[in-house]
A and B are shown apart, each in its own frame.
Chain A
Amino acid sequence: MSTPDHSADTGSIDEQSLRHASGPYFGAYGGRWMPESLMAAMDELNETFEAAKNDPEFIAQVKDLNKNYSGRPSLLTEAKRFSAQYCDGVRIFLKREDLNHTGSHKINNVLGQALLAKRMGKTRIIAETGAGQHGVASATAAALMGLECVVYMGAEDTRRQALNVARMRLLGATVIPVTVGSQTLKDAINEALRDWVANVENTHYLLGTAAGGAPFPAMVRYFHEVIGEEAREQILEQTGRLPNAVTACIGGGSNAIGIFHGFLDDKDVALYGFEAGGDGVDTDRHAATITLGRPGVLHGAKSYLMQDEDGQTIESHSISAGLDYPGVGPEHAFLADIGRVTYEPVTDTEAMDAFKALCRTEGILPAIESSHALAGTIRLAKKLVAEGAVPEETIIIVNLSGRGDKDVGTAAAWFDMIEPGAADAEITGTDAQKAQEK
């Protein structure tokens, strides 16, 4: 693989640029497949967002919060021991979103959207959450900005993630367990949408991923673009060149679209998204939406979707609650179709092996979501070397989207590290039980 040209100017806006796609459509995907009752709110949000993007005061507010509240820029750390032991010597750089306040990339989006909510005069935000990361981030932003916050969470998840439920409540949020439908993340989104329809006058729906009806996909991406912009600058500074590849995990796809964005127009930088393969894509327990899904509409956008022959949504499965979603952001569907990004599944087992590998080689405890990106990166590095790439001249940036403190219980159960007789509750408030069942 040749060294990419780093002189490419990503600042220019030309018709071929993929960086400035604003929606509502991304190729055949995106749009607004949602009830008329919400259209006025979507229009208001769109207008507010478009105006804010061009308002120096808003831009300054976001920058200030990123720097002085979240702790940006996040580091770009070279993982030398991980590289030597697991990646055949290919140089691996970790974009350290795990070091942000609240422990993941999620904070970028919630701060931006909470600012928009205030600009619209809304006093209440609602959010959905699976594992609780977006819920915690939303509760954090609400506390910071003096907004009322209600978080919808599948009833089963509230039991598995008791610690995060407590975190949200400590931050002043109301957590509502969702007992309808399959009681999972998608039902939490359904219930949040029902709340929004009824309370849209004073409420902003703070969607946590780059999915949903327009303008959500482009807006959520906008607030995460800082990841890719920083990473591009940092890799040039540290190595003097662009990477050969950039990798990220994909659930709804917000961390991935954020880091990809910085490199979309660098044609020689390969982009990889790793989906949750669960027990394997040859089983019916996975969340590999792009790999095996079909185009459809869910939660406001047309995109790839895990659905049966009748168009009913299929429940997804992943050890990672953050990737356990049967849909995916529409811009990813588009980038998959045009071949700009390669999407591949990573199984629970591969992800957990990579989780442990990073812990042991770098002293960094990654989120299980991010561990999917690490596992895919190991596979990619080996493949590149097998194809003749010179390891020390090959660079991959991995978006380490979050830290794994929330996953300690799950991992301890997975690796059978729980002391006999230890009470579940002491270990967790996490997915331990789920991991033990496997």
Chain B
Amino acid sequence: MTRVTSAQKIAAARAEGRPALIGYLPAGFPDVPTSIEAAVALAENGVDIIEIGIPYSDPVMDGEVIQAATVQALANGFRVADVFDIVAGITARTDAAVMVMTYWNPVLRMGVDEFSRRFAQAGGSGLITPDLVPEEAGEWLEASEKYDLERVFLIAPSSTPERVQRTVDVSSGFIYCVSLMGVTGARASVSSAAQAVVDAAHAAGAENACVGLGVSRREHVEEIGAYADGVIVGTALVAALRDGGVQAVGALAAELSGAAAHSDKELA
């Protein structure tokens, strides 16, 4: 199977003169079928890369909205292996790149190789790993080579130049630039630290540097798009799904991607 990678989607967006849009939703929220429908709605409304989060009992990098959603997914019976069905369900219906964001223990428990094999088989392009740093990633580096998966590590405003370099060196697909010191959650404005993190990633040789945390509006996408290769939106989409269902997710994605503005113009 030819898998669509995040690197391909970012390159395609760049060719169109815009940043790639990356949308996050938790697997199994509110249930497995709806999470597939919501992801498809993202892709249909201009999202290039879909990031599916695996609900985990101890999500230390997540704020209240995503915590509540993942708690509900687990309460509704989500099992880790469901993520493969969700990924396969999305890749079958869209041409978006599908990544999985996961805390590391669920992957360790299944076995890094086993998880990687099944994920690749489902058509996933790579993993975003918020609590895994390169020093501890030996098994994952091996498995990702073996199954040709993208490795998206994070860098933060606090990362030293040495750490940025080390992280860029082992990453593929893109580098996840954490825009601020904090956890996930919508903020009124984009942190001024974000551009420095992106600049550091580019200086270390990263081709693709994408910004996440605190991004929730079209104006943020435009602002970040001026210096970054991609923009990651999570909490705002999760809140939309919670409050308005799949339709609301599609509408917000259209707004974030600028597709809504285009269609307005066409109508006019």
Contact with B along A324-346 (1 / 0, CB 8 A): 00000000000000000000000
Contacts of B74 in A (CB 8 A): 312
Size band of the A side of the interface?
35 or more
Contact with A along B15-41 (1 / 0, CB 8 A): 000000000000000000000000000
Instruction: Decide: A36 and B104 in contact? CB cutoff 8 A.
Output: no
The residue that A186 contacts in the complex, of B58, B71, B80, B156, with Cβ under 8 A, is: B58
Instruction: Decide: B158 and A40 in contact? CB cutoff 8 A.
Output: yes
Instruction: Decide: B156 and A36 in contact? CB cutoff 8 A.
Output: yes
> Is A198 part of the contact surface with B, judged by Cβ < 8 Å?
yes
The residue that A312 contacts in the complex, of B57, B68, B163, B182, with Cβ under 8 A, is: B57
Instruction: Decide: B160 and A296 in contact? CB cutoff 8 A.
Output: no
> Which DSSP category, helix, strand, loop or mixed, fits chain B's interface?
loop
Q: Tell me whether A309 and B109 are in contact in the complex, defined as CB-CB below 8 angstroms, given that A31-B136, A37-B181 are known contacts.
A: yes
Instruction: Decide: B61 and A181 in contact? CB cutoff 8 A.
Output: no
Contacts of A32 in B (CB 8 A): 133, 135-136
The residue that A310 contacts in the complex, of B58, B71, B109, B136, with Cβ under 8 A, is: B109
> Is B146 part of the contact surface with A, judged by Cβ < 8 Å?
no
Instruction: Decide: B159 and A40 in contact? CB cutoff 8 A.
Output: yes
> Is A75 part of the contact surface with B, judged by Cβ < 8 Å?
no
> Is B154 part of the contact surface with A, judged by Cβ < 8 Å?
yes
Instruction: Decide: B58 and A190 in contact? CB cutoff 8 A.
Output: yes
> Is B106 part of the contact surface with A, judged by Cβ < 8 Å?
yes
The residue that B106 contacts in the complex, of A38, A39, A182, A312, with Cβ under 8 A, is: A312
CA distance A279 to B140 in the complex (A): 38
Size band of the B side of the interface?
35 or more
Q: Tell me whether A181 and B131 are in contact in the complex, defined as CB-CB below 8 angstroms, given that A200-B158, A312-B74 are known contacts.
A: no
CA distance A37 to B130 in the complex (A): 9
Instruction: Decide: A307 and B109 in contact? CB cutoff 8 A.
Output: yes
A-B contact pairs, 23 of them (CB 8 A): A33-B104, A36-B154, A36-B178, A39-B163, A40-B159, A41-B158, A180-B71, A190-B60, A194-B60, A197-B181, A294-B109, A296-B109, A297-B104, A298-B58, A299-B60, A307-B105, A310-B109, A311-B107, A311-B109, A311-B110, A312-B74, A313-B58, A313-B105
**Further contacts, 7 of them, CB under 8 A, given A194-B183, A296-B105, A311-B56:** A33-B104, A37-B181, A197-B61, A197-B181, A201-B181, A297-B104, A312-B106
Interface residues of A (CB under 8 A from B): 31-41, 43, 180-182, 186-187, 190, 193-194, 197-201, 294-299, 305, 307, 309-313
A-B pairs, 10 with minimum CB distance: A311-B109, A311-B106, A37-B156, A40-B158, A198-B182, A310-B80, A311-B105, A312-B57, A313-B57, A193-B60
